[in-house]
């Protein structure tokens, strides 16, 4: 593997890591929103 190939591989790995981190953030965010909606729903269920 020459220097140029190594550089490309490194860039791909960096982009992949950034993407994985973003995905994890999105998943956490979605999960939190879902939990908030469930909380709201169970809160309103008392009054139904």
Looking at the chain, how many residues does it have? 48
Does this model's pTM top 0.75? Answer: no
Angle value at C-alpha 28, between 23 and 35, nearest 5 degrees: 145
Phi–psi pair at 46, nearest 5 degrees = -60, -30
Q: pLDDT by residue for the chain (48 residues), tens digit each?
A: 788 888 998 898 888 888 888 888 889 989 999 999 889 888 888 876
């Amino acid at each position: 593997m020459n220097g140029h190939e190594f550089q490309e591989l490194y860039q791909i790995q960096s982009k992949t890591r950034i993407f994985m981190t973003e995905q994890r953030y999105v998943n956490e965010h979605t999960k939190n929103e879902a939990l908030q909606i469930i909380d709201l729903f169970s809160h309103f269920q008392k009054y139904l």
